[in-house]
Amino acid sequence: AHRFLLALLLCGCLLQRCNGFASLAAHQHGHHPPHALFLASSSSSSKTKTKRNKQKQKQKKSAGFGGAPTTRATTAKTNPRQTQTLRRWDYRQPPFWITHANLTVTLRKLQATQQATQQYHVDITNIMTVEENHIHALDDDDDDWMLLDGDASVLTLQSVSLMCTNGIDHDSTTTLVPLQPEVDYQVDHQQLRIRGSLLRRGNQGLTKIQTVAEIRQLDQKELSGLFSIRPRQQQHQQQQNLDPLILLTHCEPMGMRRISYFLDQPDSVAVFTVRIQVPWIDKHNRPVLLSNGNLVESGTMTMPTAGGAGPFPAAGAKPDPYYFATYHDPHPKPTYLFALFLVVATGSNSNNNNNNRLVQLSDTYISSLSGRETRVTIYCTDLCHASTDDIGLMEQQQQQLREKLSFALASLKRAMRWDEEWFGLEYDLDEYNIVAARSFSLGAMENKGLNFFQTSLIATHTDVTTDITYDLVEKTIAHEYFHNWSGNRVTLRDWFQFTLKEGLTVFRDQEFGACQTSPTVARIEAVKILREKQFREDADPQHRQPVRPDEIHVETDKNGIISSTALLDKLASSTAYHKGAEVIRMLQTILGRKVFGKGLKLYFSRHENSPHSHGATCDDFLQAMTDAASEVVAEDDEASTLKKFVQNSGQFGCWFSTAGTPVVTYSYSYDCSKQAFSLTLSQSLTHVNSSNVVLYIPMAVGLLDSKSGQVVEATVLHFTQQQQIFQFENLPNPVVLSILRDFSAPVILQPDVSSQENSPGEEECERLAFLATYETDGFNRWEAMQQLYTVGIFALMEQQEKSSSSESIVAKVLDAFKSILLEDGIDPSTKSYLLNLPTESVLSRKLAQPRPQGIHKSRQQLGTLIKVALHKELKSLYDELTQSIEAESVEAQTDRKSRAKRSLRNVLLDFLCFCRNDKKELVTAANLATRHFEEARCLTDKLAAFRKLASMSGPDSVGKARVVCNEQFRLYALATGDPMVLNKWFQTQALSDLPDVLEHVQRLTQHPNFRATNVGNFRSLLMAFCLNANAFHCKEGYAFIGSVILQMDGAAPQLAKELFQSTKLMNWKSYPEHLGGLMKAELEHLSTSKTLNKELAAAIDQALR
């Protein structure tokens, strides 16, 4: 999920589009963002009975994935590519646990080579305290081994020893006993197996294992384990020698096995102490050494330079100065949260200064609960300019760069305070560090106390950062911090429970976002992501899965190794993140915030990591909520809502195990004589053959008096049957139904049109118009307005095709729009969402057969009708906001209120630039957009105006204004030095509404600032053009993108595959016959290529079939 988020962010796609541009906004979460995913480790062996001399060939069972082989598929010999099935119910614990780990990480310099990072290797000495797992039962002789994961392609094992501590306190003695290969232990390419009989010492003392291994491969394409990164793009080869060596880790899911032999699985938690030792070449340039936990000590030392075998120094080696730092994390954690960050000078050149290369910003946070002080620091490796001898200029640059980190640091402190006030959860260490690196392409990672981020999710400035990205940065930082409890302090039993850390944390960051911005806007954005991503997953049989899957089918590579990427696609899904968050939210809706908070505290207290607590499950979470509700019921017998939940909590648990999106159909009637309102609900599951599954669905409803518009009834209905009727009495006037308020459940809602007396369209349109005007629930008011817009746009489209009338529907749209526009007291951000038209991509998904050109034309027509009817009101509010923004300060502000005002003002600009084919209107709109562009104080406003001008054509003055603005924005992008701003220049032109946009995009592919192999350039221009449905969906558009796919397939196969997927060519059958035929013809043309990549060829073949 975070990889996808980052891909969109890098190409500048986090921009909402109001004027027919496709909506490219995307979020994390995610988080968290989005994150790599996790291959579980091997920890206990297979139950298969074999002879002792065949033990090496036996398949290992995975504690992390419940018994499925973690790395090698059993049938790989007969077929180089197999699908391996991993099953949740196969989980079992390993025979031994690691309770403590004491690691010494030593960086040593080798003989000089051409590449700087190859001059170094890393020695890892790991002393692990081992404890027998008495719960584990010995099923066969092979269980009498401790299995440690290790990747022999990276690690070179030097020795294994047994450290036995006998006695008590100061009388204890430690004996180091080297173990013999093949006799006491066995090692292969993926595991170290130590004989269990050596580790069972009863009460005689503690048993410790020491392993010594060496890492020589620090330059690697697979960002897993310990690896080097470059602080920035290098212009010259010699510049690389001036940069320090920067190393960091990524251990989720299986990176720890590339650092040291370990139980590399989520249920194995240990207390870590880490000592880092590095050469100190430049006395004036102290290394930066970070790990999880608190800094215990740091200082200087001397030790011999390695020159002998492995990590051992040659005889008579001269001692060299070293710098060290020791960290201790008192809280047990799984290996996927282990982290290191090292910045080490590679020479004594005065230009090679870490302080010139590494920008950091620090502050102190004081807890509101205990008064504990925490040092919070953000380090960024990619913001630094070339070093200079001008000290004054250097300090000025440093200060400017630190300012780019200030928003992120303030966001972190707000998240820490909010978690204390909202859930009573306090940070538990003396230090909290964030490292940002452009080379960290995985988005963000929640390592305990040492988070890693992609630079674009940390560094901000109004000149290069849009307001939407500011929101994303704040939310992502909060998401990773909230993992400190939901994921770090309380971790998972196995990876099938993935939603328990990600879904829960997404829910928490959504709640935080609702408090920082408008609650309505936060809810709208969450639902938009759910519908755009998760509902589409449920509709696709290849990606559909429950929130907590029972089994996963994952493909192995040609060597029979399970692909981490394939596993990522299966587990780190929108279902786990976003639907998982909705399941958590439903619990809060049913229980109420107070009881839910009580259940959350109970869950954390029960399952906090300890030597005797090894991860939690979704069932554990549900049980904590049920127990919290039961306690309240025991004290208050009248708590009927909680009683229903306690009685039906098992039924609610079906949300974790049921795939598909539920469809809820509703019908209603009002009886004047009885003054009663009746609501009938029916539920079914889409795309899933599970008719016997009935879910527990909380349906929040409201009844509005049809005369006054006031809410006369608001409640949450417990919908627990296939069909259920709910009665409301004592209603003297007819009421208007508001259903699924605040989107109380992740369902598809449909009216039962067969039960409506009048024309279904007419009756529903009346209801939507009423709710758009009077509804007090912010989300449902937005939903009603979006649906009303949709009805109006489709009516205009039908009028064009069938000459039907749309006047009455358009009149209702105008009335609702005007009431919102003129209503005081609505937050500007909320008002901008209420007024904004649905995007063309959203409208297309509502049609059985998408008609891109018809949708585009009708949407433009409705916008123009609104502008013409309400121009005076629109311009008045636009001018009022302009004066307010200009009065704030000379520079653009990033606070919530300022961003909200800009959001509404830019939506108003969109409507004011809708034009009929009238010269005067076009010139007026172009002048307004030009003034907006020239007076903009931030990228958000500048980009909003550029997007409008980029689509304007007509009189010469309009065309000139467009050309001038285009060039000014390009020069602005180059001046900022930020490639993401230049990508926005490409993207805006690809999404423009000019009649010759295809030819323009073709010319841009030859632009000197464009490189097809640059991922950001490629996505911003070519993939964005595919989202410009009005321009792309034609014979020439298909042919152009088809030719690009063929060209890129040889140079960058992954990008070619991404481009193919963005074209929607595989959905040709769902389009009207004339477009579907053209799409199919292009697919057939692509299939004739003899040089297609196998994966792309398979995708094309599947689309044709």
The DSSP element (H or E) to which 968 belongs, if any, is helix 956-976
Taking residue 689's Cβ as centre, other Cβ atoms within 10 Å add up to 8
Q: How far apart are CA 856 and CA 842, in angstroms?
A: 12
Tell me the three state secondary structure of residue 344: strand
Q: Which amino acid is at 239?
A: Q
Of the candidates 762, 793, 945, 964, which has an alpha carbon nearest to the alpha carbon of residue 862?
Answer: 793
Query: Distance of alpha carbon 425 from its chain centroid, rounded?
Result: 23
> What does the buried/exposed string (b/e) look like for 310-346 if buried means 16 or more CB atoms within 10 Å of the residue's CB?
ebbbeeeeeebebbbbbbbbebbbbbbbbbbbbbbbb
What is the longest distance spanned by two Cα atoms in the chain?
A: 104
How many whole angstroms separate alpha carbon 254 and alpha carbon 336?
A: 7
* Structure token digits, residue 749: 């809602």
Residue 721, classed as helix, strand or coil, is: coil
Q: Residue 377 corresponds to which tokens in the numbers above?
A: 């620091």
Catalytic site residue 1084? no
Q: What is the CA radius of gyration of the chain?
A: 31
Backbone angles phi, psi at 165, to 5 degrees: -105, 120
At 174, give phi and psi (nearest 5°): -115, 130
Tokens representing residue 120 in the block: 């170094």
Q: Are strands 748-751 and 662-671 parallel, antiparallel or unpaired?
A: parallel
The C-alpha angle 154, 258, 575, rounded to 5 degrees, equals 130
What 3-state DSSP class applies to 742? helix
Token pair 């587990």 is found at 571
Given a contact cutoff of 8 angstroms between Cβ atoms, the answer to whether 951 and 988 are in contact is: no
**Segments of 689-812 assigned E as strands:** 697-705, 711-719, 723-728, 735-739, 748-751
**Coil, helix or strand for 150?**
coil
Other CB atoms within 10 A of residue 79 CB: 12
Nearest to residue 102, comparing CAs of 310, 381, 346, 327?
327
In the block, tokens 């790991």 appear at: 126
Specify burial of residue 756 (Cβ count, 10 A radius: 0-12, 13-18, 19+): middle
Distant-in-sequence contacts of 988-992, Cβ < 8 A, 24+ apart = 988/943, 988/946, 988/947, 988/950, 989/950, 989/1021, 990/1020, 990/1021, 990/1022, 990/1024, 990/1025, 990/1028, 991/17, 991/21, 991/22, 991/947, 991/1024, 991/1025, 991/1027, 991/1028, 992/947, 992/950, 992/951, 992/1028
**How far apart are the C-alpha atoms of 411 and 400, rounded to whole Å?**
19
Q: Which of 252, 474, 480, 783 is catalytic?
A: 480
Query: Cβ distance 152 to 215 under 8 Å?
Result: no
Q: What is the DSSP letter of 577?
A: I
- How far apart, in whole angstroms, are the C-alpha atoms of residue 1021 and residue 11? 9
Catalytic residues: 480
